[in-house]
Amino acid sequence: MDRRKFVGAAGLAGAAGLLSACTKPGNSQPACEEAGGGETFEWKMVTSWPRDFPGLGTGANRLAESINRLSNGRLKVKVYGGNELVPAFEVFDAVRQRTAEMGHSASYYWKGKAPEAQFFAGIPFGLTPQELHGWIYYGGGLELWREVYAPHGIVPFLVGNSGPQMGGWFNREINSIADIQGLKMRIPGLGGEILRRAGGTPTNIPGAELFTALQTGTIDATEWVGPYNDLAFGLFRAAKYYYYPGWHEPGTALECLVNQQAYESLPEDLQEIVRVACQAAVLDMWSDITYNNGIALKKLVEEHGVELRRFPAEVLDHLGNISEDLMREMAAESELMGRIHASFQAYGEIVKPWTEISDRTLLNLRPDG
């Protein structure tokens, strides 16, 4: 299996050509049979999200629909929300064991199984969405990601991005580092480890359980995604303060996990359809969430009276210093982790100066309001 295939004119033309042939009036089934032998496949996709949940769950649905359409029904994917077929945090094992052929989730949930996977969801104080996409598709990130998952018999694909996240919902104000002490917060991945080192108590809870945990005081705070997704869960009814920025997830990548044996059993044209559909889903989800975040933020503030708060500089500086120490420690944990960290850092040195003179400069030029 080619571990590094990027979307190009040939790939897109191939998928489009197949769709055109299969949907040509009067020649649908014969065209498909000629292209792929007429064999059909039925796959299950398990997700870490509630069924039809905005952005994340609907993103999984649209990916399945896209694969179904592009293959003219030769590859049919049925989606299962979190806890419908397997629990939300068992997607990785379900795909590995081929309980399901596909999964839709985020790689930092598997830190206990593959610690290196956390790099491919996003690094605290790290890359923006577009920067992260550049590293994964063109900077060597995809090759390393697949190397991490290869021993588990899983092929990962980038399949979405939540964009910059919010810092989270809090039932108490954060005015200094002292306010982090003893804070019980739902926060996964590397952000959770940084919170722990800062004196807090991180925990990981599936999205569907967040409202109850926050409302009952099981946790003092939670991050989830951003206004669009947080509004859907009604988190504003369980906490008073909504903090930003999302230092822990500046641009979180979502992943499609595919069982390697299942993937390799597909004819080449269907493999290409899976790959192209995943890449198209990245832009689709990112655009969906970006658009709806603006609408949802306005509702949260104007209709629900949510108090927006910015984390104090003292707190962000402290968390940033902890993050740098953690990255250095992780780089020394294994040879593979060291290579991933080195690749991530080298790419950052290339792309960040461009981001500074392009995106940051233009954002600073925007008029207020």
What is the SS3 string spanning the chain? Answer: CCCCCCCCHHHHHHHHHHHHHHCCCCCHHHHHHHHHCCCCEEEEEEECCCCCCCCHHHHHHHHHHHHHHHCCCCEEEEEECCCCCCCHHHHHHHHHCCCCCEEEECHHHHCCCCHHHHHHCCCCCCCCHHHHHHHHHHCCHHHHHHHHHHHHCEEEEEEEECCCCCCEEECCCCCCHHHHCCCEEECCHHHHHHHHHCCCEEECCCHHHHHHHHHHCCCCEECCCCHHHHHHCCHHHCCCEEEECCCCCCCCEEEEEEEHHHHHCCCHHHHHHHHHHHHHHHHHHHHHHHHHHHHHHHHHHHCCCCEEEECCHHHHHHHHHHHHHHHHHHHCCCHHHHHHHHHHHHHHHHHHHHHHHHHHHHHHHCCCC
Give the per-residue pLDDT at 368: 80
pTM of the model: 0.89
* CB 194, CB 324: distance < 8 Å: no
Give the per-residue pLDDT at 369: 63
CA dist., res. 114 & res. 112, Å (int): 6
- Indicate whether 101 belongs to any domain: yes
Give the per-residue pLDDT at 13: 45
For 69-101, what is each residue's pLDDT tens digit? 999 999 999 999 999 999 999 999 999 999 999
As given in the structure block, the two tokens for residue 127 are 């890359």
For 279-321, what is each residue's pLDDT tens digit? 999 999 999 999 999 999 999 999 999 999 999 999 999 999 9
- Indicate whether 307 belongs to any domain: no
- Indicate whether 109 belongs to any domain: yes
As given in the structure block, the two tokens for residue 182 are 């003893």
Give the per-residue pLDDT at 270: 98
- Pairing assessment for the beta strands 184-186 and 41-47 based on DSSP bridges: unpaired
* CB 227, CB 157: distance < 8 Å: no
- Indicate whether 84 belongs to any domain: yes
* CB 153, CB 261: distance < 8 Å: yes
**What CATH number should be reported for the domain holding residue 157?**
3.40.190.170
Domain that includes residue 36, residue range: 11-162+252-290
- Indicate whether 137 belongs to any domain: yes
Domain count, the chain: 1
Give the per-residue pLDDT at 278: 98
- Indicate whether 358 belongs to any domain: no
Give the per-residue pLDDT at 38: 78
Q: Which stretches in the chain have pLDDT values below 70? A: 1-37, 369
User: Could you tell me which residues come within 8 angstroms of residue 67 by beta carbon, excluding any fewer than 6 positions away?
Assistant: 75, 77, 273, 274, 277
- Indicate whether 173 belongs to any domain: no
- Indicate whether 171 belongs to any domain: no
